[in-house]
Amino acid sequence: MSAPTTYRVQARSAPGGEARIDAGTETIAFDASWAAAVPSGLPGPADLLASAFAACLLKNVERSGRLLPFRYQNAEVEVRAERQDSPPRFTAITYELRLVTDEPQHRVDLLHRNLRNFGTVYNTLAAVCDVQGRIVTESAPRAPEARS
């Protein structure tokens, strides 16, 4: 058994909700204010959690693209996270992953199984709330035929 992988971020905030996270080599600004009269436009913690889920899906599309192999030209995902107030927690996450691919449906289904089975963030959230999603495909445009 291998040693667990460790991830480290550092975060800081100031009164009023201005906050930053250092992750990797980047700094991510986020809104840590409580009931601000005017929204800052920055993502809050819930947005960052939904973003981590989206990033997990897209990273695993790339991973599966290399391991299966699975051909695709483009991938994008929309994630919706639902929370309740009492007790405060997420109750459901839904997603729609859109792929431009010429792969047959059975290969798309295999990709989806891999996303559900091997995503760290996916599995962590699925253990504590309902996670449901689907993959929608669009045919890859064909290269124009050469004319003689």
The average pLDDT across 43-48 equals 94
Confidence category of residue 39, pLDDT binned at 50, 70, 90? confident
User: Cα(84)–Cα(46) distance, rounded to whole angstroms?
Assistant: 12
Cα 62 from chain centroid (whole Å): 12
The average pLDDT across 53-69 equals 95
Q: Evaluate if residue 7 carries a pLDDT over 60.
A: yes
The average pLDDT across 115-130 equals 96
Q: Which residue has the tokens 């009023």?
A: 16
Q: What is the largest CA-CA distance in the chain?
A: 70
Query: For residue 147, what pLDDT is reported?
Result: 60
Query: For residue 143, what pLDDT is reported?
Result: 63
Closest to 57 in 3D by CA, of 24, 97, 94 = 97
